[in-house]
Amino acid sequence: MTPENVKHYENYFDLFNTDGWSQLMEQVQVDKDNFQIEAIADEKTLYQIQGQLYVLNTLINMEDMVRATYDSILIGEREAVNGE
């Protein structure tokens, strides 16, 4: 992994360890839980809500996705070094 990539992931990990990130994630989850899909009046509103939920889910899953990608890179590098 290049030094730039290492710094990229370290920045994410620093972010994930802040109180602000935890607070944001709590609020994002509350916002997601408060969607009332049964009250959708038309297709346009449905598509807007789908987009909003996509963004909220992306944020909710971001930490897990970043950590999984980082771990996958490290495993790939180890396998490359070990000739696996």
Which tens digits make up the pLDDT trace of 56-67? 999 999 999 999
Could you tell me the pTM of the whole model? 0.81
Question: Long-range contacts made by residues 14-22, C-beta under 8 angstroms, separation at least 24?
Answer: 16/63, 16/66, 21/63
Look over the chain and give the mean of its residue pLDDT values, rounded to a whole number: 93
Q: For the CA atoms of 32, 33, 35, 37, what is the dihedral angle to 10 degrees?
A: 120
14-39 residue pLDDT tens = 999 999 999 999 999 999 999 888 88
Asked if pLDDT for residue 1 goes beyond 90, the answer is no
Asked if pLDDT for residue 50 goes beyond 80, the answer is yes
Structure tokens at 14: 């620093």
Q: Which pLDDT does position 58 carry in this prediction?
A: 97
